[in-house]
Structures are given as structure tokens and as C-alpha cells.
Amino acid sequence: MEYWALRDVGAFESILESFNLTSCERDGAEALAMQVTEREAEQAPPPTPMFVHVQRRLAAGGIRMQFTGSTVTFVRAIPPGEKLTLAVGVAHPWMFGAPVNEVGAVSELDEFHRLCEANEQMRRVLAGNVPGKLVERSRGNLERAVQEFFGALLGPEGRIVIGSTVAFSGRTVIAPPIPQS
């Protein structure tokens, strides 16, 4: 069911169920059907699999997203794990005036591999005795690759898509009684 439709009618428990408890991305999702046959299923605790996914992607862009039970906060941070250090710092696509000097490795994204290539090209240009025009062109290529990488971190068309594949779902229809004649 579409998130926005559920939200508009106040079906928040259904949203929690779809995006967390019955989500195929949730740890233990393969055992959920068996659990439901044995006992009543309880809502899974936060965070949802989608939150964790977005959290990891933002972390690769140097933004730590934290959930404190009722509030989500965002702070600038060093990307965790494996990193790509840029040959030169470039403007951060999301934070005006802030530089990007390194990004987290997200090897499943083609844009990450293109960023690696543009970064390596910039390193070679800086190491050689090349005309300033080539340095400017390489820097422009690196800046574009960083922008494309950051756009891809969020998902298709550079935005977070709210959706989840569910293991199973059910619906109840409430209807008024039909008068007996």
C-alpha cells in the first residue's frame, strides 16, 4: 500500500508494519511467516531497514543521521569504513561552503566507480607537468563525479524513494451490515 495514502488516513501501525515488521529487508524476515503461525507478531523496534539504508548512504557522504526515539538529527562526520580520499577538495553538493575531501566507498554504485576514475585522473594530472587548462578540466570532471555520486546516494533521480517490499500483508474491510428483508 502506498505510504502517503496510509499516512493521510492515520494508519501509522500499518506503515510501521509495512516498513519494518514485514519488510523483506529486515533481519529475520525469512522466519516471520513461521513466527506469525506460532504467536501474534509484535511490531519490530526501530530503526526500519529503510532508515538504516538511508543512514549508511548519508554516512558515505559525510553526514551522520541519528534517531533518538522521537527525533532525527543530522551532523557532519567523517565517513566510516573504507574511504576514497579525493585528490583535491571540492564543494560539498549538500552543504554550502563546506568542502568534500573524502567519501565512503559504496561499491554497488556505478557513480562511485566513475568518481574513482575521475579522482585517479586528477591525481595523474596533479603529478605531471600539465597545462592549467587540463588541471581545470580534470577538476571539473571530479566535481561533476562528486555531484553525481552524492545524487546516487539518495536513490533514483537524487531523491529518497519511500517504499518497501513486504514479505506478506493482509487487509480487513469494515462494512456496514446489510439489512435483512
Query: What's this model's pTM, rounded to 2 decimal places?
Result: 0.72
For the chain, give the DSSP string.
--HHHHHHTT-HHHHHIIIIITBTTSTTGGGHHHHHHHSPPPPPPSPPHHHHHHHHHHHHTTEEEEE-SS-EEEEE-PPPSSEEEEEEEEE-SSSTT-EEEEEE--TT-HHHHHHHHHHHHHHHHHHS---HHHHHHHHHHHHHHHHHHHHHHH-GGGS------BS--------PPPPP-
* Per-residue pLDDT tens digits for 71-110: 889 999 999 999 999 999 999 998 888 999 999 999 999 9
Average pLDDT of the chain, as a whole number: 82
Q: What pLDDT digit, counting tens, does each position of 107-131 carry?
A: 999 999 999 999 999 999 999 888 8
pLDDT number for residue 158: 46
Banded model confidence at residue 5, pLDDT cuts 50, 70, 90:
confident
